[in-house]
Amino acid sequence: MSKTIITNPVIWADVPDPSVIRVEHVYYMVSTSMHSMPGCPIMKSENLMDWELVNYVFETFEDNDSHNLLDGKGIYGKGSWAASLRYHNGLYYVSFSSNDMNNYYVYRTNNIEDGPWERFTIQGLHHDPSLLFDDNRVFIFHGNGDIRITELTADATALKPGGINQLLFETERSGIGLRCEGCHAYKLNGFYYLFFIEWPNTGNHRRRQLVYRSRELLGPYERRVLLDDDMGYHNKGVAQGGIVSTPAGDWYAVLFQDHDAVGRAPCVLPVSWENDWPAIGVDGKANVSFEVALPGSMPKSLVVSDDFMYTDNRLVLNWQWNHNPDNARWSVTERPGWLRLKTGHLASSVEYARNTLTQRTEGPGCTASTMIDLEGMKPGDRAGLVALASDFGTVCIQADESGERRVAMCVKGEDGCEETVESLVYEGGQIYLKIHFNFVESADTAHFYYSNDGEVWKSIGQPLQMKYTLHHFMGYRIGLFNYATKESGGYADFDFFRYANQIR
């Protein structure tokens, strides 16, 4: 067997709440996607280091004003949370709760890479759930601090009438800011293992990974702290996730670490076993880099450039819309070789504009640029490039009612609307825009540029100090947008999206 060097984080981008399984020699991972659509991305790897995006579980999962970003609020910080991925008897299962819908969703398929997925809805929240298939019974472990167990039917599609539905145990309260959550449940070697994170407000004041175990499903459960380490990065604990084995019988944990504005980055750590207790890392420390007996492979890009040369009106998998798209108002075939974004619902800022097309940002730094044909814009339209989070920054073209166009750098104002930091009259019919992101040691700055030829770039506005907030609960994303403030019916054409990632 060849050797692979794993270096953490294995993905320096926002792939939070990872849930990983292995089927034969292939690993699959699902993660939280909240308000980004399509959602619940499925990634594939043969060595736990190099991950490729292969599918999504759903295009959208609800159709209402909040999910369609028409209510002035959206589902920021809500949507699909902490999905659980499992494989049982030839079927793949993904389940998650949605705080805004007060529902628990179960999706299943026999083809994880191509679908289709069947959907089942169960009323009521089951916070940060973990599915466990135990012989011919199926359970969900869920909750925050007060950990519950709920039994599903044998096909995992509904609550089991008369099945188990009870409080399993209550976790530590003393000195804890965030009590146990993010369950990953397993049955191994005659034990039930429940992995959690918690966040003490004493001691190191950082996330840590715990495990509870019992020989009986309903307990009693013993508890251990598995990992309390920041891997040398700003006291950011490496925690929340589960474990997975290799074909040779080695074990690894896939957890995440907060990396501030870029988001929550997955990390892989070795797992050893001592008297049927798992131990993560080496001597209580998380490994930045280590060797594994897994095959090497070519890294696959999570964020990609796009020249919009499509024969069908369907984008590559790397793109996600901010909330549900209005599919009648975008096209990559109406003008071949261009992405056309048409305006519809009026918006007060890019944060509440429909059809903003996004990809992740990546550390330690990255740059994104585009070129826009402006001829279809109407007075009051805003089209450009955004560093998207709650505290956003844009570089854009503003079409004024007088017919004048201005290139502008904007930020989020105190009233939630876009506040112009600097604007200049722009007379061309096309414009190039660029944002450079710097995440080195959590510098978390974005710089904004424009050009009339794509060669000579001019800085505009001010650097944006990016901040990770719980309002969006997501790392910064790069977005292409066009929205109306006065009247609908305009459009902006994007010739390309060019992306470059700084080598770590």
Summarize pLDDT for 81-120 with one digit per residue, the tens: 999 999 999 999 999 999 999 999 999 999 999 989 999 9
Residues 6+ apart with CB under 8 A from 257: 8, 9, 230, 231, 233, 236, 237, 238, 239, 264, 265, 267
* Residue 275 in this model has a pLDDT that exceeds 70: yes
* Residue 128 in this model has a pLDDT that exceeds 70: yes
Structure tokens at 212: 């509870």
For 416-482, what is the HEC assignment? CCEEEEEEEECCCCEEEEEEEEECHHHCCEEEEEEECCCCCCEECCCCEECCCCCCCCCCCEEEEEE
Residue 19: phi and psi, rounded to 5, are -130, 120
Structure tokens at 456: 């000579």
pLDDT at 417: 84
pLDDT tens digits for range 311-333: 999 999 999 999 999 999 999 99
* Residue 445 in this model has a pLDDT that exceeds 80: yes
For residue 476, give the nearest of 466, 485, 464 by alpha carbon. 466
Structure tokens at 181: 């959550």
pLDDT band at 283 (very low <50, low <70, confident <90, very high): confident
Residue 307 vs residues 304, 433, 457, 491: alpha-carbon distances, Å: 10, 15, 21, 18
What residue spans define the domains of the chain? 4-49+75-292, 320-501
For residue 391, give the nearest of 374, 369, 414, 368 by alpha carbon. 414
Task: Answer whether 83's CB lies under 8 Å from 32's CB.
Answer: yes
Sign of CA dihedral 23, 27, 28, 32: positive
Residues 6+ apart with CB under 8 A from 55: 41, 42, 112, 113, 114, 115, 317
**Across residues 120-130, what is the average pLDDT?**
96
pLDDT at 490: 97
Distance between CA 29 and CA 495 in Å, rounded? 33
Sign of CA dihedral 51, 52, 58, 63: positive
**Across residues 432-445, what is the average pLDDT?**
97
3-state helix, strand, coil in the chain (%, to 5): 0, 50, 50
For residue 120, give the nearest of 57, 68, 65, 77 by alpha carbon. 57
Residue 118: phi and psi, rounded to 5, are -85, 145
Number of H helices, E strands in the chain: 0, 38
Q: Does domain 4-49+75-292 have CATH number 2.115.10.20?
A: yes
For residue 139, give the nearest of 165, 117, 112 by alpha carbon. 165
pLDDT at 1: 53
3-state secondary structure of 351: helix
For residue 118, the tally of other CB atoms under 10 A from its CB is: 12
Distance between CA 257 and CA 394 in Å, rounded? 27
Task: Answer whether 77's CB lies under 8 Å from 60's CB.
Answer: no
On average, the pLDDT of the chain sits at 96
Q: Which fold, 320-501?
A: Jelly Rolls (2.60.120)
Q: How many residues does the chain have?
A: 504
pLDDT band at 48 (very low <50, low <70, confident <90, very high): very high
Structure tokens at 234: 């700003």
pLDDT at 314: 96
Is 320-501 the same fold as 4-49+75-292?
Answer: no
For residue 175, the tally of other CB atoms under 10 A from its CB is: 10
**Region for residue 427 given its phi and psi (left: phi exceeds 0; alpha: psi -120 to 50; beta: otherwise):** alpha
Structure tokens at 172: 């530590």
**Across residues 272-293, what is the average pLDDT?**
94
pLDDT tens digits for range 153-203: 999 999 999 999 999 999 999 999 999 999 999 999 999 999 999 999 999
* Residue 504 in this model has a pLDDT that exceeds 80: no
Distance between CA 332 and CA 82 in Å, rounded? 32
**Across residues 139-146, what is the average pLDDT?**
98
Residues 6+ apart with CB under 8 A from 386: 350, 356, 392, 393, 394, 396, 478, 479, 480, 481
